[in-house]
Amino acid sequence: MDKANVCKILKIVGFILVVLLLGIVVVVYKLEHHTEVIPTQCKIVLNTENKLEKLQQSCINIPNEKKFDCFPRGIPDQNSCNLRGCCWSPIADFNKQIPSCYYPANFRSYKVTNVTKSIEGETLLLSITRQSVYPKNVKTLLVQISFETKSRLHIIIKDYENERFEPPYPQIPATKKTPETTDYIVLVDDDNFGFAVIRKYTRTVIFDTRNIGGFIFSDQLLQLSALISSKYIYGLGEQTNNFLLNTNWEEIALFNHDTTPKEHTNLYGSHPFYIAMEEGGFSHGVFLLNSNAMDIILQPAPAITYRPIGGILDFYFFLGPSPDNVIQQYTEIIGRPFLPPYWSLGFHLCRWGLKSLKDTMDLWERNRDAGIPFDVIWNDIDYMDNRNDFTISPNFTGLGDFVHQLHNIGMKYVIILDPGIASKLPSNTYPAYDEGIKQNIFIQNSSGLALEGIIWNYPKGTVFPDFTNPRTTSYWLQMLTKLYKEFQYDGLWLDMNEISNFVNGSIYGCDDNVLDNPPYLPKIHGERLNYLTLCMSAKHYIGFHYDVHNLYAFAESMVTNSALSLIRKKRPFVLSRATSPGIGHYAAHWTGDVLSTWDAMKHSVGDIISFNMFGIPMVGADICGYTGNTTKELCQRWFQLGAFYSFSRSHNSIKANDQDATAFGEEFILSTKKALEMRYRFLPYLYTLFWKANQYGESVIRPLFFEFPKDENTYTQNTQFLWGPGLLIIPVLQEKVISITSYFPQSIWFDAYTLESYESNGTYITISAPLDKIPLFLRAGYIIPYQEPSQTVEKSRKNPFGLYVTLNDTLQATGTMYWDDGDTVLSFSDQQYNLLEFNYNGTLMKSSVLTWNYETTMTLDTIYVMGLSNKFSQIFINGQNHSYFNYDSELKVG
């Protein structure tokens, strides 16, 4: 071969090499653009026509609703999609939600290599068969399937060789023994790892990960998808959405964050728990115990995908079978809700912008003078000196005397605390900072120094107590005790504990690291993990902020709850903005900085129901809204609704106009008194519901389907709710409406004002709702205790009791009442309480005393019996004939 031909061949080879190199450069550029790295073997595997042909065959006949996204971040094209081993099928612009790049059938990433079975469950070892595009894939996984109780299944998937972060809160109680039978069956696919959870009785497959691609277990992304049994799914908070979740490609990000509530935005709490309704009225719940930031995607199959960016996959399945059974089973592991002090069930009055003690007293006095029932006055950060914790502004001189005055008339006082300690004051002038530095209890930056951010403190500079550090418990108690000596507050309001920060990460920014810049970023507000919070590389006693962020409020609430018990020697009341699973054992919740709009008021109904499902039954929204100026009609309707939040408080921003009940005139005052007096009338019933929640995990506020699970019409109702099983609340949620058409499930319903009856077979009924009234209905079959209302809880507790007896079509009714002093920490465990059970069987009304250890005078005054077919001829009480009774033949009430 001559020299010229050799040169030509070399030029051709060189040209080919250049083209290949350019192609590689283009691919690399695209991969970098998507901030992901494709493992080499993926390229090699898919470089043969045979493999491509098999891939194409496995992509055929996958319906749109079962396409699981293979390229959740970035802009895919066919080449980058195929390099992942996934299917490419572009979707028309009008339906961009359906993935263009999706997993093929039988996409395998792990296989089962070992199985050990026992009566307690199964243990599996998995080996990786395909690397994901994310760094540091875990090669060997351990799967533990535990049959914990008859109705509870526990499945853990974790790294076999290395420990990964697992939330220390809530502390899950150990299972005592393996059940003899279970309500579920678990099937495992050995070859291509997946599992299915099946309800044994109905054979309903409630959660099925088999033959679904995309199972990933890498260092900073875990992904698992499953087909689920129902489109009727609720929970997965906290976001502003409809109570019934949207399964049409809905993406829900969970990462505690301080922002004005709006749709498609992660808010103050993270609760990866849902409850679903199956055919036939059965219900189940699924809980992922994982504290890391995550995305959860719902799609129309119906199906669900979890994408946490750390920790392990730790699933609990609750088989119910009723919705309330599911909540009982869930709170059994995360912790039962706390029993609130009785005074906290009254109405609370607050606003930001009460700049002095005089302003506070003026608000208090004008509402007292107007006759508004209320029990608690609050102060926001105005009471602090330069907005610094554990200080008192000179404008609040005499605060201790005012609180003493409140206590003398049976009222209470609550203050706000932020989890931020001023860091820029002169040395030895601010004990909260000096002691914290001395005891080394602040969250640290990557250099081991106290991380500094900015919140309300002045001068600007803030450090944050690490409540996971055992030393912080004594520090916090020390600071709160010192403040209590200044004035005897009754409860504590924990704000800004997401943690919220006015700068990203710290005043010095954050180091460039994989925690603050993970390879996969959930769809969170601000598009960076440290957006208006701390650096993810910040150090807590138990780990990095990356893992601990969503647990901060839990730890703070737990420590604060304990400190309050020790300081006051009474039942603690703690209110927390940020939440996570199990915090309801220590704190109540309000729904944050909601807008003063009709839409925000409507969403609050779904919010309070959802948090009852999350095990936080004491919850409410700021009545009339927090952000912006309300209108008179909106505020009037919101006061009526707020009177039936389980936590009832009016509060608004410093920038907004006054919106307490006295701000809108005499008619408004009368309307508000009417609603709040109805609340106070039913407080014995509400308190009993809280006791049942504390002891048995029953929900306090319920959606209709909790009580009517076989009625599918109730599954979509999100504008009305129940207190327990017996009291239906129908708020007016639209402007200029004086009648409302609402769904009444099959029962007899009695108007709580007039006692008029409405019999429904599951129909919509139009009812009157004048501007001064919120419709309330008593459900047949229940006996509900009540008490004549006074202006405060303390006075109301001294009034006579009564009973509403609402007979069903078989003339039956039952009820319970729990009663104690309302403030002792261990009143139930020490058996210092009274428990009564009521029963009506058609001719005999019986009251049974189950426990009577709390010495008090309880006078029964009036019993209303509704649904009577005939007038009483005689009434005997304790064997004695009584003639003092009335009968209304038209209402059939005696």
- Catalytic positions are 495, 498
Q: How far apart are the C-alpha atoms of 384 and 380, rounded to whole Å?
A: 9
Whether 704 and 717 have beta carbons less than 8 Å apart is answered as yes
Strand 860-866 and strand 303-308: the pairing is unpaired
DSSP run (H or E) holding 478: helix 470-486
Residues 6+ apart with CB under 8 A from 18: none
**Structure-token pair, residue 126:** 């998995």
SS3 content of the chain, % helix, strand, coil (to 5): 25, 25, 45
Amino acid at the residue 644: F
Q: How far apart are the C-alpha atoms of 436 and 443, rounded to whole Å?
A: 10
3-state SS, residue 277: strand
**Buried-state track 95-130, b at ≥16 Cβ within 10 A, e below 16:** eeebbbbbbbeebbbbbbeeeeeeeebbbbbbebeb
The HSE-up count of residue 151 (CA atoms within 13 Å, CB side) is 18
DSSP run (H or E) holding 105: none
Strand 763-768 and strand 101-102: the pairing is unpaired
Residues 6+ apart with CB under 8 A from 641: 601, 604, 605, 623, 729, 731, 733, 774
Query: DSSP state, 21?
Result: H
Q: How far apart are the C-alpha atoms of 327 and 378, rounded to whole Å?
A: 32
Residues 6+ apart with CB under 8 A from 555: 169, 467, 468
> Locate tokens 């709702």: which residue?
769
Q: For the CA atoms of 638, 644, 648, 651, what is the dihedral angle to 10 degrees? A: -10
**Structure-token pair, residue 177:** 């023994």
Strand 462-463 and strand 421-422: the pairing is antiparallel
Q: How far apart are the C-alpha atoms of 327 and 689, rounded to whole Å?
A: 14
